[in-house]
Amino acid sequence: MKPRPTKRSWAEPWKVKMVEPLRMISADERRRAIAAAGYNTFLLRSEDVYIDLLTDSGTSAMSDQQWAGMMLGDEAYAGSRNFYNLEAAIQKYYGYRYITPTHQGRGAENILSQICIKPGDYVPGNMYFTTTRHHQEAAGGTFVDVVIPEAHDPANEFPFKGNVDLEALAALIARVGAAKIPYVCVAATVNMAGGQPISMANMQAVRALTRAHGIRIFLDATRAVENAWFIQQLEPGYRDRSVASILLEFCSYSDGCTMSGKKDALVNIGGWLALNDKDLYDEASALVVVYEGLHTYGGMAGRDMEAMARGIAESVSDDHMTARIGQVQYLGEMLHDWGVPVVRPIGGHAVYLDARAFYPHIPQDQFPAQALAANLYEESGVRAMERGIVSAGRDKLTGENHHPKLELVRLTIPRRVYTQAHMDVTAESVAAVWDARASARGLRMTYEPRHLRFFQARFEPI
């Protein structure tokens, strides 16, 4: 008999009511599929994927309460009752005053960038995000990375690697002047750093610094609930506070947010822009009608707004967050224990493989992370995505490739979708690719789209 472990386990706070069969195609078919997709996992057919860890965006399972809400859709063009339910949920849990739905997060980013950023402005942020930076630059701004240096080191165990480097932010303000900085864009958690949280103390300090210069803060609130869970677990003084109350306090240090409801808010589509300033909201809602739809639906169906309103309330539950991030950590710690190089500490929504450590023999210009994601699919049918030089794109002025320090593959865990057994299979698949690392080869890019190239670029083996 083996000794019984002394720990007490957590379990998911739900049970399964409906299932969707998975399909695994043969190794030969997988080889053909990834070649036909130009070695880009975004171009695979979902039917050819076994376990889909491409993204946690819009891939969550909705609850019975959310599905019931779908039947209560008020599909009026204007003033749908579901809009008011959504508005009330955002006001209650995030604390912002004025809200307009958008079709998803990037819709909100477009509107915010257009109303706030003038050509020649600078927009500091705690590491870039692909669509966020695109809209800031399209509006004439220059993104400036002010995340702490620890964020660029995949092995560094600092618990709040999403923090803003206050000295770097102060130096930027001194260099270009507050008038050229329309707002600071604070992401919580920081996706591109590995789903790393920012601490409440850091957020308070950013608020104090920006207030002194009259600069606004807009949150990328996409995974702010997950960030609140990390604060509860890791930051002194927050252990007895609910995730919901931490979220509300965190948001109170900002002037509004852009939001992709497809992540924390447990829906398949939707987003919003929230603002505390009435004049700014009026400008935003004048643009929403151009790009998204009337300000009371912003590109969303009534039923989808209802599902998001209900999803927000479910997302702030402590039990939900413990199981959600617990599953991510289960996968990450297993790989770490086996000696597979992953970004430390394990983040909130994904486990990030360190492709530089996998393939030190493949130069960054031969896309080691892109190759690793393709190899993992070929090995096992598990779909992940590149977060390295392909995602980083080119400098908007010089046209040169950005060379990010982090060259990662993201295994992103959808919420309430897969079981621990799927995580076991995934870990074993990654370990098999790790064992075969010496024979891996780099890639050459054969097609490069002009914008957000990682979505549609094509490659071939060298």
Active site residues: 77, 129-130, 220, 263, 387, 454
Question: Residue 323, SS3?
Answer: helix
Question: Which of 220, 306, 378, 407: binder of ligand PLP (CB under 6 A)?
Answer: 220
Neighbours of 24 (CB within 10 A): 13
Question: Residue 103, SS3?
Answer: coil
Running DSSP on this structure, what letter comes out for residue 46?
Answer: G
Q: What is the DSSP annotation of 49-97?
A: -SEE-S-SSS-PPPPHHHHHHHTT----SSS-HHHHHHHHHHHHHT--S
Structural contact between residues 250 and 95, judged by C-beta atoms closer than 8 angstroms: no
Interface with ligand PLP by CB under 6 A: which range of 22-30, 68-76, 126-134, 243-251?
126-134
Using CB under 6 A, which residues numbered 3 to 32 contact ligand PLP?
Answer: none
Using CB under 6 A, which residues numbered 188 to 207 contact ligand PLP?
Answer: 191
In angstroms, what is the minimal distance from the CB of 365 to ligand PLP? 26
131 binds ligand PLP (CB under 6 A): yes
- When the beta carbons of 57 and 296 are compared against ligand PLP, the nearer one is 57
Comparing CA positions, the residue from 456, 444, 455, 452 lying closest to residue 396 is 452
In angstroms, what is the minimal distance from the CB of 308 to ligand PLP? 12
Place of tokens 């770490």: 336
- When the beta carbons of 13 and 58 are compared against ligand PLP, the nearer one is 58
- When the beta carbons of 381 and 404 are compared against ligand PLP, the nearer one is 404
- Say how far apart CA 95 and CA 219 lie, in whole Å: 12
Query: What are the structure tokens assigned to 33, written together?
Result: 């599929």
Cα dihedral 429/434/438/442 (nearest 10)? 70
Residue 447: in which H helix or E strand, if any? strand 443-447
Instruction: Classify burial at 139, counting beta carbons within 10 Å of its beta carbon; exposed 0-12, middle 13-18, buried 19 or more.
Output: buried
Structural contact between residues 413 and 349, judged by C-beta atoms closer than 8 angstroms: yes
Residue whose Cβ sits closest to ligand PLP: 105
Question: Which of 98, 128, 129, 297: binder of ligand PLP (CB under 6 A)?
Answer: 129
Identity of the residue numbered 408: L
- When the beta carbons of 258 and 429 are compared against ligand PLP, the nearer one is 258
Nearest 5°: phi and psi at 123? -125, 100
132 binds ligand PLP (CB under 6 A): yes
In angstroms, what is the minimal distance from the CB of 200 to ligand PLP? 19
How many residues make contact with ligand PLP (CB under 6 A)? 15
Contact pattern from residue 367 through residue 406 relative to ligand PLP, giving x for each residue in contact according to CB under 6 A and a dash for the rest: ----------------------------------------
In angstroms, what is the minimal distance from the CB of 446 to ligand PLP? 26
Using CB under 6 A, which residues numbered 159 to 188 contact ligand PLP?
Answer: 187
In angstroms, what is the minimal distance from the CB of 10 to ligand PLP? 25
Interface with ligand PLP by CB under 6 A: which range of 62-70, 259-267, 384-392, 413-421?
259-267
- When the beta carbons of 220 and 314 are compared against ligand PLP, the nearer one is 220
- When the beta carbons of 41 and 131 are compared against ligand PLP, the nearer one is 131
Identity of the residue numbered 430: V
- Say how far apart CA 38 and CA 461 lie, in whole Å: 9
Query: What are the structure tokens assigned to 34, written together?
Result: 């990834």
Interface with ligand PLP by CB under 6 A: which range of 124-132, 237-245, 284-292, 377-385?
124-132
- When the beta carbons of 242 and 268 are compared against ligand PLP, the nearer one is 268
In angstroms, what is the minimal distance from the CB of 118 to ligand PLP? 22
Identity of the residue numbered 350: A
- When the beta carbons of 131 and 429 are compared against ligand PLP, the nearer one is 131
- When the beta carbons of 134 and 310 are compared against ligand PLP, the nearer one is 134
In angstroms, what is the minimal distance from the CB of 106 to ligand PLP? 3
Nearest 5°: phi and psi at 423? -70, -40
Comparing CA positions, the residue from 171, 230, 240, 219 lying closest to residue 195 is 230
Cis status, amide bond into 345, omega within 30 of 0: yes
315 binds ligand PLP (CB under 6 A): no
- Say how far apart CA 93 and CA 316 lie, in whole Å: 8
Q: What is the DSSP annotation of 258-313?
A: EEETTSTT--SS-EEEEES-HHHHHHHHHHHHHHTSSTTTTT--HHHHHHHHHHHH
Query: What are the structure tokens assigned to 252, written together?
Result: 């109170």
Interface with ligand PLP by CB under 6 A: which range of 20-28, 258-266, 304-312, 316-324?
258-266
Interface with ligand PLP by CB under 6 A: which range of 82-90, 257-265, 290-298, 385-393?
257-265
Contact pattern from residue 43 through residue 82 relative to ligand PLP, giving x for each residue in contact according to CB under 6 A and a dash for the rest: --------------x-------------------------
Contact pattern from residue 88 through residue 117 relative to ligand PLP, giving x for each residue in contact according to CB under 6 A and a dash for the rest: ----------------xxx-----------
105 vs 177, 243, 265, 285, CA distance in Å?
A: 29, 22, 12, 15
Where do contacts with ligand PLP occur on this chain (CB under 6 A)? Answer: 57, 104-106, 129, 131-132, 187, 191, 220, 222, 260, 262-263, 271
